Amino acid sequence: MLDTDRYDAYFFDLDGTIFLGNELLPGVEKTLAALREKQKKIMFLTNTTVQTRTACQTRLQKLGLAARREEIMTAAYAAGLYLQENAEQARVLIVGEPALEEEIASFHIKQVQDAEEATHVLVGMDRGFTYEKLQQAADAVRKGAHLIVANPDPVCPVPGGAIPDTWALARAIETAGGASVWAMTGKPSRYYAEQVFQQFHVQPERCVMVGDRLETDILLGKNSGMKTALVMTGVTTSRELEATEIQPDYILPTMEAMVQVE
C-alpha cells in the first residue's frame, strides 16, 4: 500500500499519467492537490522534445494544474544540460521540432544545418521527418559526429493510439549512418535522474516515480533508487506487465488510487 506520508517528493510523467491529449486523466487534480496540501515536493518528468519547459507549464496551467517551470524536466532540457556539461563547443545538427531547437538555443549551443560542420547529431521527436533530414544526419554520423538521442521512446501515446517517437528515427539514423547511439539523455538514463536529484535537492530513497511506461518511467525509478508506481492509464497493458521483469513497487488503476489507498 502506498503511504504518501512516507516520502518527500513525487515525480510524475505527463503523457499517459497526468493527461492524454487535452484531457486530464482521472483523479489527477485531486491527487496533486492532496500532495501539495501535505507540502510534498512535486516535479513533472517528461521525455517530450516537442514542447519546451515553458510550453509544458502553460499546458498544465490550461488544464487547471499550477506548476512552476522549475518543477518541470523535459528530455529536450536534459539534452541541453548534457551538451553544456560535456561538449560546450559542440556544433549540433538537430533532428527535431522547433521546441528542441529553442531549448538547445537557450544554452547558447551552436546549431548547424550542414553535416560537414556537425560534431553532434541530436535526435528528438520530429513529425516533419524527411528523407533529406535522414540523409543529413546519417552523413554527419558517418563523418564522425556523435549521435545523441533525447529519449528512447519508440512511440508516443495519443488519443486512439500512438505515433512514432524519437527512437524510431534514431534507429533509422543509426542504420544509415553506420554508428551506434553515443548517449541518451532522457528517461531512464542515469544522467536524467542525477539532474532531477540535483535540481530538486532530494535523496532517491525519499522519492516516488509515477508513470505509465515500464521501460522509461519505472526503469528510471528502479535504476536510481526511487520507489515506483505504475498507473494503468497509458501505454502499459496488464499483459505487458505480466510478461516483463520490470516490476513497479505499486500498481495503480488511476492516479486517484494514490489518495484512496491510504
Tell me the binding residues for Mg(2+): 13, 15, 212
Q: Per-domain residue ranges for the chain?
A: 9-47+187-258, 88-184
Tell me the binding residues: 13, 15, 187, 212
19: pLDDT strictly greater than 50: yes
The CA angle 121-127-128, to the nearest 5 degrees, is 75
The pLDDT of residue 119 is 98
Q: What is the mean pLDDT of the chain?
A: 94
User: Which residues are annotated as catalytic?
Assistant: 13, 15
261: pLDDT strictly greater than 90: no
**Rounded distance, CA 97 to CA 60, Å?**
20
Question: Are the folds of 9-47+187-258 and 88-184 the same?
Answer: yes
Contact call for residues 42 and 65 (beta carbons, < 8 A) = no
Looking up cell 536524467 gives: 192
Going by pLDDT thresholds of 50, 70 and 90, the confidence category of residue 82 is very high
The pLDDT of residue 78 is 97
The pLDDT of residue 262 is 47
Domain 88-184 homologous superfamily, CATH: HAD superfamily/HAD-like (3.40.50.1000)
Going by pLDDT thresholds of 50, 70 and 90, the confidence category of residue 161 is confident
Cα–Cα distances in angstroms (integers) from residue 94 to residues 115, 132, 238, in the given order: 10, 13, 36
Per-residue pLDDT tens digits for 41-75: 999 999 999 999 999 999 999 999 999 999 999 99
DSSP string, 33-67: HHHHHTT-EEEEEE--SSS-HHHHHHHHHHTT---
Least confident of 104-113, 120-129, 156-165: 156-165
Bond prior to 188 in cis (omega within 30° of 0)? yes
The pLDDT of residue 234 is 87
Alpha helices in the chain (DSSP H): 28-37, 53-62, 75-86, 98-105, 131-142, 166-177, 190-200, 219-224, 238-243, 257-260
How does 124-135 read in b/e, with b if 16+ C-beta sit within 10 Å? Answer: bbbeebeeebbe
What's the number of CA atoms in the CB half-sphere (13 Å) around residue 19? 15
Domain 9-47+187-258 top-level CATH class: alpha beta
Tell me the binding residues for substrate: 187
The percentage of residues in the chain with a pLDDT greater than 90, rounded to a whole number, is 87
Per-residue pLDDT tens digits for 86-100: 998 999 999 999 999
181: pLDDT strictly greater than 90: yes
The pLDDT of residue 256 is 87
**Rounded distance, CA 173 to CA 196, Å?**
29
**Residue closest to 255 by CA, chosen among 4, 9, 31, 7:** 31
The pLDDT of residue 91 is 98
The pLDDT of residue 260 is 64
Looking up cell 544522467 gives: 191
The pLDDT of residue 159 is 74
